[in-house]
Chain A
């Protein structure tokens, strides 16, 4: 049973870390919004799905790559990848702001209870996924290969593949930048202030609507970046992929302590590795079971997740 783990330990670890970083970025979308609004942004999974389409549309329709065209090289490669990343972040960011406007802002202004926004968020997520279903005729969409998956070398028997390495480093960098933004910038301070005490922050002259929109935007940008990495590694999307990813990322956020940015980081990585190890040792059919047993155990002993709650605890 453990032969696979011993034999393939480093391959699995690298794959798990890459998957974990994708989870980290998507769970930021959940954690940021939760930290500020104390509401779960159920539409984040569909924001992710729209991001993956942003990536594919960029390479396929803007740069004209097809399934049979040769992968890009040199400066062209950097240009295509960077535009894919930025466009998919932009698509997801705009979608996130749209979600905030449609599903949250008006209801918040009317002072409705939290359950109303929960339902409206679920509603908008259905709209987003059904819209994509109609646009794509329910079909899966393959991504042209832009980045040749060169094997850079071998470490302890595991292949270091270019796409996984890029995913790990670039995702870590994006996480780091976002964390710095929330910690150090003026807007970041305002976000943390609102998450600590909304009324007090308002009295101090914080523009609440702007803070909330920015929070959605930042969460959306992180989620969009995740969409780009996901496509670069897996080269496949469909209108319904958001659900599984959203479930995993939400679990990661809760594991780490929802509302806590650092919690999303450790939760995502932990979940990525746990999934990969559990599938390899017990069989993939036990993946979800293992994940949720671990989640229940963690919440049993640490009800607020591994790192506790709230954006405000991420202080400098």
Chain B
């Protein structure tokens, strides 16, 4: 761009900003105050379904809030699309960090994208409440990924999910012989570790084999050969659903009847769709979902949003509600909002008490077990 044009554009936009603010101020006395919160997650690309589901839940919470507090506030949502990709997050986060009109972020959805966004939100003092970033290091003050003081999450982290997955996978199997493998990703490798330590607490269970398979693999025959040799009766995969679908087909085609289980990376309705009949009976841990909390709430959600609630809808609603309650209490600067979230003590829509630890974690982590029945992952209740 030509320098002259650039300069004149800068002048125009600065003028627009001044007039815009002035216009907003004059109308503030009469009309409800407009405030902004953001949602960040994958809204396009391969992971878009997760982000769209989460954002819908945030929109739903805002819709309810605005209808109830018409006179005082008009909350608007800023959509931040990071495609779940740290590289993209690094390019969108600086703008959000600098835009002081945004009081808080629900998200980011994924841990990698969270780490890439953190420096900009820390610099801007922008509070974040993630509904689904489960990586342990995010709330570990000794780690370089540590998100304090701005990062919070309303989802149980992986060291809570690992034991839940270990329990659920081996349910009803006495002296379970377990084969564990991961996809070499920064999500799957630590989770496999937490599953392994979780299995130590399951009576009689032993780990009879492991493997680590690049996430570009389509030929799983060596892994399947190892499973056959190890005589495992439970196979746990800690990677994502698309690979899980390729694997489970090949495992069943080889004639193996071993139980297949996966973590929340496999928790996606696309999994049984891709894997077809081979996915039947697979056990997956994930978060409970709105319908599991209240069918009435789910019905209202569907009526209001036009679609059913999806993954992490409960967590997204909780996260949005914390910010919205903060706004209602008049915390309309970033510093006040951060203090509000840090001191928050309230109820989740599941009835649990939400209170953040100094590092940003909630005190509970609930993972539900899902089993594939007739091509759909069906909730079988919280894993206890």
Contact = CB atoms under 8 A, between A and B. Distances in A.
A4 B253 contact: no
Interface in A250-307: 275-277, 279-280, 283-285, 287-288
B216 A15 contact: no
A142 B253 contact: no
A15 B223 CA distance: 12
Interface in B189-239: 210-214, 216-219, 221-223, 225-226, 228-229
B246 interface: yes
A280 B222 contact: yes
Contacts of B229: 3-4, 7-8
A213 to B, nearest CB: 31
A70 to B, nearest CB: 10
Tell me what chain B mostly uses at the interface: helix, strand, loop, or mixed.
helix
Contacts of A287: 214, 222
A238 B242 contact: yes
Contacts of B250: 234
B48 interface: yes
Contacts of B253: 149, 161
A8 B228 contact: yes
Contacts of B211: 283-285
Interface in A194-232: 230
B76 interface: no
B46 A142 contact: no
A138 interface: yes
Interface in A44-103: 67-68
Interface stretch (B56-64, B169-177, B268-276): B268-276
A16 B224 CA distance: 13
Interface residues of B, number: 36
Interface string A2-32: 0110011001100110010000000000000
A231 to B, nearest CB: 10
A149 B211 CA distance: 25
A234 B242 contact: no
Nearest to B215: A244
B249 interface: yes
Contacts of A140: 46, 242, 245, 270, 274
Contacts of A276: 219, 221-222
B249 to A, nearest CB: 6
Q: Which of B211, B249, B255, B375 has the most CB of A within 10 A?
A: B249
Contact of B214 (A7, A16, A144, A285): A285
A149 B254 CA distance: 9
Given A11-B225, A276-B222, A283 B212 contact: yes
B45 A138 contact: yes
Contact of B245 (A11, A19, A137, A236): A236
Given A149-B253, A159-B254, A234-B246, A11 B184 contact: no
A277 B221 CA distance: 10
B225 A12 contact: yes
B228 A7 contact: yes
Contacts of B276: 67-68, 142, 144-145
Contacts of B254: 11, 159
B242 A280 contact: no
A23 B133 CA distance: 39
Nearest to B212: A285
Contacts of B375: 67-68
A288 B212 CA distance: 12
A179 interface: no
Nearest to A244: B216
A240 to B, nearest CB: 8
A4 B226 contact: yes
Contacts of A67: 273-274, 276, 375
Nearest to A136: B46
A215 to B, nearest CB: 28
Interface in A128-151: 137-140, 142, 144-145, 149, 151
Contacts of A279: 222-223
B219 A236 contact: no
Contacts of B275: 142
B374 to A, nearest CB: 10
Contacts of A15: 219, 221-222, 225
Contact of A11 (B212, B221, B242, B270): B221
Given A7-B228, A8-B229, A234-B218, A142 B273 contact: yes
Nearest to B182: A285
A159 to B, nearest CB: 6
A66 to B, nearest CB: 9
A279 to B, nearest CB: 3
A68 B280 CA distance: 12
Contacts of B212: 283-285
A130 to B, nearest CB: 12
Given A15-B221, A68-B276, 5 more contacts: A8-B229, A11-B254, A161-B253, A241-B216, A284-B181
Interface of A: 3-4, 7-8, 11-12, 15-16, 19, 67-68, 137-140, 142, 144-145, 149, 151, 159, 161, 230, 234-236, 238, 241, 243-244, 275-277, 279-280, 283-285, 287-288
Q: Give 5 nearest A-B pairs by CB, closest first.
A: A279-B222, A15-B221, A8-B225, A138-B46, A142-B274
